[in-house]
Amino acid sequence: MADSHVQPGARIVVTGGSGFLGRHVMAALAARGYANAVTFRSSEHDLTREADVTEMLGAFRPEAVIHLAATVGGIGANRRYPGTYYFRNLQMGALLMEHARRAGVQRFLSVGTICSYPKITPVPFREDNLWDGYPEETNAPYGLAKKMLLVQSQAYRQEFGFDGVNVLVVNLYGPHDNFDPDSSHVIPALIRKCVEAVERGDEEIEVWGTGKATREFLYVEDAADGIVSALERLDTSDPVNLGAGFEISIRDLAEAIAKHAGFRGRLVWDPTKPDGQPRRCLETSKAEQLLGWRASTSLDDGLARTVAFFRDEVRAAGRVAPAAR
């Protein structure tokens, strides 16, 4: 690890380290020998409060920060809480990076989102396209709030020499995802619908939109590996895409999930519900060039593991109450 920006003994704080992506990042850090990586819950340190940010940095004295913490949700949640999503994500990122700079943190990795890209972007999305238009309306407040961390990183590097780096992560899925129907993204939402439909013997399930929109999905363990690679190797504040390098229509995705869940009924599409951004797929050659990283888990394998996790650990443990019929 001679070329790494972060040494194995470094004190690393991972915000959001107890969440879906965070627990996998913590595992990836441990697997690479980082024994002093820590995290905390928002009930301990609320990053939207300046006093909590300074208290957390004083308590842990990190040499590096991986900022994953975010207020996130699917299309429905983004439409209901645009102001909340904008304010909380902007506040967390801005306060944390500013006080990390003041506290002498040596390296700061911001994990951004594909939602920051313009609504109409040539496919595959290239990092150079990031400022070519306004994001898709249903998640623009969230996407723009996270995008400001990129601006802040570049500005702080220019003025203060602050070592802030940025990755943009495509839609994630995998074990420990959020399966709550009120706030989950498309893969966990469809897995839950299909598994519960099989349990009840339903003959059909409703799916939002037309099914024509396309998305790219990255298995969460691959994403965690890419994030740790960026922490170690990235030399610029310019953004780097982390993705799987392929796209699939929501219709084909739903059919694949139904197959893995054993649901053989009808998928009923509701075109009155939004599709979101028409197409999403990232160009990922920069990650391979700068980080030596590429995704390794196929969608078929990833879906099989995620369905098994929901059945074996979520449903079996009763951690998700049955959805209303």
The per-residue pLDDT for range 182-193, each reduced to its tens digit, is: 778 899 999 999
pLDDT at 319 (0 to 100): 55
Dihedral of alpha carbons 42, 43, 49, 52, sign: negative
pLDDT at 206 (0 to 100): 94
Q: How many folded domains does the chain comprise?
A: 1
The CA-atom distances, in angstroms, between 212 and each of 84, 149, 207 are 29, 32, 12
Backbone angles phi, psi at 297, to 5 degrees: -100, 125
pLDDT at 321 (0 to 100): 46
pLDDT at 320 (0 to 100): 52
pLDDT at 315 (0 to 100): 79
The per-residue pLDDT for range 135-180, each reduced to its tens digit, is: 999 889 999 999 999 999 999 999 999 999 999 999 999 999 999 8
pLDDT at 323 (0 to 100): 46
Regions in the chain scoring below 70 on pLDDT: 1-2, 318-325
User: How many CA within 13 A on the CB side of residue 309?
Assistant: 17
Which residue segment(s) compose the domain that 118 sits in? 12-172+216-242
Backbone angles phi, psi at 299, to 5 degrees: -60, -40
Instruction: Count other Cβ atoms within 10 Å, centred on residue 298.
Output: 12
Is residue 241 classed as helix, strand or coil in its secondary structure? Answer: strand
Q: 173 an active-site residue?
A: no
Flag whether 277 is in a domain: no
The per-residue pLDDT for range 52-69, each reduced to its tens digit, is: 999 999 999 999 999 999
User: What value does the CA radius of gyration of the chain take, rounded to a whole number of Å?
Assistant: 19
Burial class (CB in 10 A: 0-12, 13-18, 19+), 49: middle
Flag whether 236 is in a domain: yes
Flag whether 288 is in a domain: no
Residues 6+ apart with CB under 8 A from 72: 85, 142, 183
Residue 111: name the closest of 70, 54, 57, 83 by CA.
Answer: 70
CATH number of the domain that residue 145 is part of: 3.40.50.720
pLDDT at 184 (0 to 100): 81
pLDDT at 318 (0 to 100): 67
Flag whether 29 is in a domain: yes
**Angle between the 140-160 and 82-102 helix axes, to the nearest 10 degrees?**
20
pLDDT at 88 (0 to 100): 97
| Among 85, 86, 117, 142, the one annotated catalytic | 142
Flag whether 194 is in a domain: no
At residue 230, what is the residue type?
A: A
Flag whether 185 is in a domain: no
Flag whether 43 is in a domain: yes
pLDDT at 182 (0 to 100): 76
Flag whether 192 is in a domain: no
Query: Rounded to two decimals, what is the model's pTM?
Result: 0.92
Instruction: Count other Cβ atoms within 10 Å, centred on residue 48.
Output: 18
Instruction: Count other Cβ atoms within 10 Å, centred on residue 143.
Output: 25
